[in-house]
Amino acid sequence: MDSQENQQSINQPQPHPTHSFNFKLKSSVFYVSSILILVLAVSFSFTTTNFLKTQHLKYTFSLHPTLFQTLLEFIHPSKKTIQTQEPEPISLPLNCVLWMAPFLSGGGYSSEGWSYILALYEQNRTRSFRMAIEQHGDLESFEFWEGLPKYMKDLAIELYHTKCNMKETIVICHSEPGAWNPPLFETLPCPPTAYENFKSVIGRTMFETDRVSLEHVKRCNKMDYVWVPTEFHVSTFIESGVDPSKVVKIVQPIDVKFFDPVEYEPLNLASIGKLVMGKTTRNSRFVFMSIFKWEYRKGWDVLLKSYLEEYTAADRVTLYLLTNPYHSDKDFSNKIVEFVQKAGIEKPATGWASVYVIDTHVAQSDLPRIYKAADAFVLPSRGEGWGRPIVEAMAMSLPVIATNWSGPTEYLTEENSYPLIVDGMSEVMEGPFKGHLWAEPSVTKLRVLMRHVMDNVDEAKAKGRRAREDMITKFAPEIVADIVIKHVQNIFKKMD
């Protein structure tokens, strides 16, 4: 099949250049067709959620217009100034939870934020408090917004229009602490005004190294509570100086209905991937999938070294890397070839085992089909906050091989996966966490595990099934929503 043609089928349709509007957003452009769709969605949600509040959070902090605000101003230029005189519906509680996260960035905090608001919304008990959202903490990607399923967009628009009274509101700042008020970079601050104006302010964050830096500890201690996803974080935060009475473990939900293998047909991976090493594989015997941002932390070097040393073309195996740039250009093929040369990995006599890179934007709604096309998921990272692709793969019943350190120790077990033993710890050499430690996963052990998974398909499948069961019983949205609701209601009770 023509790969060009297939790439386009999962890409966004190319807009007509003369039909574009430029908003003041970095790298975001809106197009007529999508605006029309949104006009419909927005006008529906206005009729149900447009009620008056004395102190609107929204509309008072418009110094940095967010994607939603810009979008809505364009569609309903007058809405912002009109004070509707509709009376407050009596049935709606005053208590409010304002969830502020980078909902529109498409990154790790973004998908985590989505999983919480979807989970909370679906638990109808959220009616004991209102819920509102605001974009905060990272850039907006219109490509990501466009790729979201309609029910998610509708929910976002509805929650965006919910108005809250500051005094009745618990704010959840779901982002890296540098974005918390006062922010260290340009973003809508969280909380949007002074901390004491709100009923309570909670920071939700996590790190991928063995400690929390001093500046971040200070920011955590300004919060009433700090929610972290794992035991690993509870201990690293407290050891670093965060007030133990503020640290609460709240695990991350995974949408086990969306990530359900019985619902999907596999995507034709070869049609969207670029061949980097080896030959085009027809009838591959086994497909390994890895999904990560292109950064050293993700251990792509460990993965390539293990894979290319363990396998040859004769194994008829394929490795797919679904990746996107992280402070780097998109020329992943060259980076891989260069790495292989520098690392001195010798070309096997029968030729390289195949490696493909998928670097096109894959819409969220296509993601399960990517997992569905793989036989195993592998990610030897040096450190993870939670490891979303790992739990997504587990929910999709894939056997996973992942580093048994940091966040993933919360859910990896011998029964549900292949936890990868680490060789030891190594020092972070660059970036904001320079000098911290993280794990050095074992190349030798990874080779053994990859070979083992491929040679013991029945065992691997059984672990995959167990993985999905564990995701359902421990992290299904309704289970995690119950945990969140319990904490939120306790705070409301304590403060009343």
Ligand X SMILES: *[C@@H]1O[C@H](CO)[C@@H](O)[C@H](O)[C@H]1NC(C)=O
Q: List residues binding ligand X (CB under 6 A).
A: 124, 404, 409, 414, 419, 421
With contact defined as beta carbons under 8 Å apart, do 332 and 298 qualify?
no
Shortest gap between Cβ of 36 and ligand X (angstroms)? 26
Shortest gap between Cβ of 414 and ligand X (angstroms)? 5
Phi, psi dihedral angles at 422 (to 5 degrees): -95, 150
Shortest gap between Cβ of 466 and ligand X (angstroms)? 14
- ∠ CA 491-495-496, nearest 5°, is 120
Shortest gap between Cβ of 421 and ligand X (angstroms)? 5
What is the arrangement of strands in the sheet containing 247-249, beginning at the earlier edge strand?
Answer: 130-135, 96-101, 169-174, 200-204, 225-228, 247-249
With contact defined as beta carbons under 8 Å apart, do 340 and 307 qualify?
no
In the numeric block, which tokens belong to residue 463? 């672990």
Shortest gap between Cβ of 47 and ligand X (angstroms)? 15
When the beta carbons of 368 and 419 are compared against ligand X, the nearer one is 419
Shortest gap between Cβ of 320 and ligand X (angstroms)? 26
When the beta carbons of 177 and 229 are compared against ligand X, the nearer one is 229
SS (H, E, C) 206-217: CCCCCCCCHHHH
The dihedral through the CA atoms of 47, 52, 53, 59 has a sign that is positive
In the numeric block, which tokens belong to residue 493? 């009770």
When the beta carbons of 192 and 419 are compared against ligand X, the nearer one is 419
Shortest gap between Cβ of 211 and ligand X (angstroms)? 16
With contact defined as beta carbons under 8 Å apart, do 256 and 472 qualify?
yes
When the beta carbons of 80 and 127 are compared against ligand X, the nearer one is 127
| Residue-wise DSSP of 146-215 | HHS-HHHHHHHHHHHH----GGGEEEEEES-GGGBSSPSSSS--BSSS-GGGSSEEEEE---SSSS--HH
Question: What CA–CA distance (Å, rounded) separates 262 from 388?
Answer: 20
Question: What CA–CA distance (Å, rounded) separates 437 from 423?
Answer: 13
When the beta carbons of 238 and 421 are compared against ligand X, the nearer one is 421
Shortest gap between Cβ of 124 and ligand X (angstroms)? 4
Shortest gap between Cβ of 231 and ligand X (angstroms)? 9
In the numeric block, which tokens belong to residue 385? 């906050």
When the beta carbons of 397 and 404 are compared against ligand X, the nearer one is 404
With contact defined as beta carbons under 8 Å apart, do 211 and 436 qualify?
yes
Close Cβ partners of 394 (under 8 Å, ≥ 6 residues apart): 254, 400, 411, 416, 417, 464, 467, 468, 470, 471
Close Cβ partners of 106 (under 8 Å, ≥ 6 residues apart): 141, 143, 144
Question: What CA–CA distance (Å, rounded) separates 236 from 217?
Answer: 11
Helix, strand, coil share (%) of the chain residues, nearest 5: 45, 20, 40
When the beta carbons of 122 and 143 are compared against ligand X, the nearer one is 122
When the beta carbons of 146 and 410 are compared against ligand X, the nearer one is 410
With contact defined as beta carbons under 8 Å apart, do 381 and 420 qualify?
no
- ∠ CA 371-373-378, nearest 5°, is 50
Shortest gap between Cβ of 419 and ligand X (angstroms)? 4
When the beta carbons of 232 and 294 are compared against ligand X, the nearer one is 232
With contact defined as beta carbons under 8 Å apart, do 394 and 460 qualify?
no
Shortest gap between Cβ of 276 and ligand X (angstroms)? 31
Shortest gap between Cβ of 10 and ligand X (angstroms)? 32
Selection from 332, 435, 450 nearest residue 401 by Cα: 450
When the beta carbons of 110 and 230 are compared against ligand X, the nearer one is 230
Question: What CA–CA distance (Å, rounded) separates 360 from 12?
Answer: 10
Shortest gap between Cβ of 166 and ligand X (angstroms)? 27
Question: What CA–CA distance (Å, rounded) separates 64 from 188?
Answer: 6
With contact defined as beta carbons under 8 Å apart, do 403 and 441 qualify?
yes
When the beta carbons of 345 and 421 are compared against ligand X, the nearer one is 421
In the numeric block, which tokens belong to residue 381? 């990272």
When the beta carbons of 191 and 419 are compared against ligand X, the nearer one is 419
When the beta carbons of 4 and 124 are compared against ligand X, the nearer one is 124
With contact defined as beta carbons under 8 Å apart, do 292 and 323 qualify?
yes
